[in-house]
Structure 1
Amino acid sequence: MPARSPRSSTPARSSTPARRRPARPATVNHHGIHLLRSGTAVRGLVESAGLGPDSLVLDLGAGPGTLTAPLARTGARVLAVERDPEFLARLERRFGAHPKVRVVAGDLVTVPLPRRPFQVVASIPYDLSTRLLRRLLPDATGGASGLAAADLVVEWGFAQRVCRAVPRDLEAARWGATYELRVVRRVRAAAFTPAPAVDSAHLRIRSRPGLAGRRVRRVLYAMLAEAFRRPDQPARTAVAEVAVRSVARRVLGDAGLDRGVRAGAVPVDRWADLARSVIDLSRRR
């Protein structure tokens, strides 16, 4: 059975000369839903998640349950979230009696998230990717998220944007500094039925070590806010927002960064290093 896939906002269309009788059109995809049908892609997502009997995993937009079934076979506890009534009925028939699967009627961008640590393995509608990451990843106040890891199918261009070594904007910088975001593989459009107009990507999200505390996140986000307010200023000025200048100079050197490097040119993973170093040095003073 296929798994639910991203929505495509730009479905492919064919143009036929007026003098020719057009070929019989393919089934019209009124709802913009594309179902993942590649066993290779499904296995890659589940294997990457590394689930076990103690894991809690969310299959957001579960569709007919193609991801739900292999996720359940790992022994993990699975929450299959779906809003479409027809898909919900199919999920209930398949998994209603399964001891490890709970079918949840709800929208993936509004359904309450677990309080205990959880993972997400899902194929996400293209037009909901940004909203979902805003829900899953920590906010600008430094608050922690319950997300332990995620393996998502998202639109290829979106994956490329959020995985940039030097982010374009503050929001992407917060995500990339707190979590490692990496494209595992390209998922071709032919892996879906019907095929969307563009390829997708397997996006892997994992927490960066040493950023679990609320204080270190606040330091990190304060530096990022200053850095992206004026990207052309020296990075040491952004660090000085949260530390004395002597500490700012030292942490830049410890991170292997030139003292004159522009704030907007600092790789996203280095900001996490800087935040940890600021906390460590501040404690020693």
Structure 2
Amino acid sequence: MAVLLVQAGAALSAPDPAPGGGPALLGPAQIRELAAELDVRPTKTLGQNFVHDANTVRRIVAASGIGPDDTVLEVGPGLGSLTLALLAEAGRVVAVEIDPKLAARLPRTIAERAPGQAGRFEVITADAMSVRRADLPEPTALVANLPYNVAVPVLLHLMAELPSITTALVMVQAEVADRLAADPGSRIYGVPSVKARYYGDVARAGAVGRNVFWPEPKVESGLVRIRRTDTYPRDDALRRQVFDVIDAAFAQRRKTMRSALASWAGGAVEAERRLRAAGIDPQIRGEKLGVADFVRLAQIPAAPDH
């Protein structure tokens, strides 16, 4: 259910001027004022680190490639730093915020700092992992500073649940960004790398320093872009089968595929049969395989006695 609550209270200090008369972005002073007003103390549990640098949010929006025809989904808008920058370019922004206090303040922040765009914004108070297709208008893009402690599960859930998303640009911990964008054969290539590629082309899209956040995190951040390709069917049953194979292959990543998939297939002999039927060497390790290999393997039916 959308929360569109405008509260009374004093306006924030002078805004960060916006080019061309667009939304007035938040700077360090306004971020701290908002946090003090709401008695918000950023928590590790919710992965809260608020961006306070206007140039950074402008750069994220530019890298996303969104435009006036896009309905953008933002997860974890917090105090609204990125939200305001998104409203300068997108046709509509729908924000999902788990913290009721932050969600309730967002509409007034938008009304104060982007009055011309307030009608194109709504906020839903919810856990992003519980969001379903029916809860949202059909977003065409996902642009978000994802909570770092749940970034990969949230990203994969939304890409699966919202097939209307054609492009995603997310900020995550730098190591996670590297892992998502890793190629087969890389030391850091693993479950997130393969699953993200099921949805489309994945690439790093830049780095973000620690000093643009409040509080300053102890880790570096990175941007990752996914461009949906629809190479594989939008079939939930197939996706689950593929992801089960991926999970099994990397559960013991140093094992050969024949050994790693023994439990999944119902025995090493059956695992080898399916691997050979899919054109995959049973002695290879999962880290050497691309998503297409896992898709072929998932589609091989079990032997009649299995």
Q: TM-score range by the shorter chain?
A: 0.5 to 0.7
Other-structure match for 1:118:
140
Distance 1:198 1:278 in 2: 36
Matches within 5 A, 1:65-84: 65-82=80-97, 83=100, 84=102
TM-score when scaled to structure 2?
0.62
CA pair 97-80 structure 1, distance change in 2 beyond 3 A: farther
Maintained 8 Å contact 1:60/1:108 = no
CA distance, structure 1, for counterparts of residue 282 and residue 296 of structure 2: 20
Partner residue in 2 for 1:256: none
Amino acid in the other structure paired with 2:26: P
Q: Any conservation in 2 of the 1:96–1:103 contact (CA below 8 Å)?
A: no
Is the CA contact 2:195–2:291 (under 8 Å) kept in the aligned structure 1? Answer: no
| Matches of 2:296 and 2:177, distance apart in 1 | 27
Q: Match for 1:174 among 175, 192, 195? A: 195
Quote the residue 1:18 is aligned against. none
For 1:200 and 1:213, the matched residues in 2 are separated by: 31
Offset at residue 124 of structure 1 (A): 2.3
The offset of 1:134, in angstroms, is: 4.3
Q: Tell me, yes or no, if structure 1 residue 271 matches structure 2 residue 298.
A: no
Question: What is the identity, as a one-letter code, of the residue corresponding to 1:53?
Answer: P
Distance 2:176 2:206 in 1: 14
**How many equivalent pairs are there?**
244
Could you tell me how far 1:58 is from its partner in structure 2? 1.5
Q: Distance in 2 between matches of 1:3 and 1:212?
A: 44
Map of 2:218 onto structure 1: 197
1:31 is matched with 42
Distance 2:191 2:283 in 1: 18
| DSSP 3-state at the match of 1:42 | helix
Q: Is the 8 A contact 2:168 2:225 kept in 1?
A: yes
| 1:1-285 equivalences in 2 (<5 Å) | 1-2=25-26, 30-32=41-43, 33-82=48-97, 83=100, 84=102, 85-95=104-114, 98=117, 101-109=120-128, 110-112=130-132, 113-114=135-136, 116-138=138-160, 145-166=163-184, 170=191, 173-214=194-235, 217=239, 220-221=242-243, 223-228=245-250, 231=253, 232-234=255-257, 247-249=277-279, 252=280, 259=281, 262-267=284-289, 270-272=290-292, 275=295
Return closer, same or farther for 1:219/1:160 CA change in 2, 3 Å cut-off: same
Letter in 2 for 1:275: V
- State whether residues 181 and 205 of structure 1, in contact with CA within 8 Å, keep that contact through their aligned partners in structure 2: yes
Q: State whether residues 64 and 143 of structure 2, in contact with CA within 8 Å, keep that contact through their aligned partners in structure 1.
A: yes
- Give the residue type in structure 1 aligned to 2:109: R
Q: Give structure 1 stretches of 5+ with no counterpart.
A: 5-27, 253-258
Alignment deviations for residues 216-265 of structure 1 (CA, whole Å, 9 cap, x no partner): 63563354355336652347x9698699677522xx5xxxxxx4651323
The 8 Å contact of residues 163 and 181 in structure 1, kept in 2 or not, is answered as: yes
Q: State TM-score, norm by structure 1.
A: 0.65
Letter matched to residue 74 of structure 1: E
Residue by residue over 1:115-149, the C-alpha shift from the partner in whole angstroms, topping out at 9 and shown as x without a partner, is 634311122232332442243133xxxx7744322
When residues 151 and 76 of structure 1 are mapped into structure 2, their CA distance, relative to the original with a 3 A threshold, is same
Distance of aligned partners of 1:222 and 1:134 in 2 relative to their CA distance in 1, 3 Å threshold: closer
Higher helix share: 2
Structure 1 pair 130/229, CA: closer, same or farther in 2 (3 Å)? closer
- Classify 1:81/1:72 alpha carbon distance in 2 versus 1 (closer, same or farther; 3 Å): same
Distance 1:132-1:144 versus aligned 2 partners, 3 A rule: closer
- The CA deviation at 1:57 is 0.3
CA distance in 2, matches of 1:99, 1:87: 10
Q: 1:128 to 1:224 in 2, by over 3 A?
A: closer
* Matching residue's letter, 2:288: V
Identity %: 21
Deviation, 1:187, is 0.5
